[in-house]
């Protein structure tokens, strides 16, 4: 299928300039695979990914917070989860901070962040402050 790269770039820049890096990444992802040699697409995609990572850490999932299950596990058994969501969720034990969970994940940092944000948005996990005792350890 033909992709109008100029149109894709324009829409992605608009979203990025409007402070919506998540949508910019979504717009650019298919274009990166369709036009893997386009330096312009790659540069804008990288810029959007950096902005999205920073935005998620700043606004949604602070790296020093600890993800915890927001509901009892029994209530989540019927939840349709992807294998990646299941893997990350299996690491949420109330003791590991976000950065540690992402660090042991075979997923890229941004992909893991997006999945954890989606789990939080679905009400499956929430974030708690790290205790003073665990900060000293």
Q: Tens digits of per-residue pLDDT, 44-61?
A: 999 999 999 999 999 999
Distances, alpha carbon 119 to alpha carbons 29, 68, 95, in Å: 21, 11, 17
Which of 93, 73, 94, 80 has its CA nearest to residue 122? 80
Report which of 94, 104, 102 is spatially closest to residue 128, judged by C-alpha positions. Answer: 94
Mean pLDDT of 90-115: 93
pLDDT beyond 90 at 4: no
**pTM for this predicted structure:** 0.84
pLDDT of residue 56: 96
Q: Residue 40's closest CA among 8, 2, 1?
A: 8
Statement: residue 136 has pLDDT above 50: no
* Euclidean distance between CA atoms 80 and 35, whole angstroms: 32
């Amino acid at each position: 299928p033909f992709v109008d790269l100029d149109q894709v770039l324009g829409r992605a820049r608009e979203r990025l300039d409007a402070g919506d890096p998540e949508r910019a990444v979504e717009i650019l992802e298919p274009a990166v695979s369709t036009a893997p040699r386009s330096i312009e697409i790659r540069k804008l995609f990288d810029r959007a990914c950096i902005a999205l990572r920073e935005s998620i850490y700043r606004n949604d999932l602070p790296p020093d917070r600890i993800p915890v299950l927001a509901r009892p596990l029994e209530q989540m058994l019927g939840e349709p989860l992807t294998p990646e969501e299941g893997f990350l969720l299996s690491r949420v034990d109330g003791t590991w901070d976000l950065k540690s969970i992402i660090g042991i994940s075979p997923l890229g940092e941004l992909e893991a962040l997006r999945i954890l944000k989606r789990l939080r948005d679905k009400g499956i996990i929430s974030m708690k402050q790290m205790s003073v005792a665990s900060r000293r350890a």
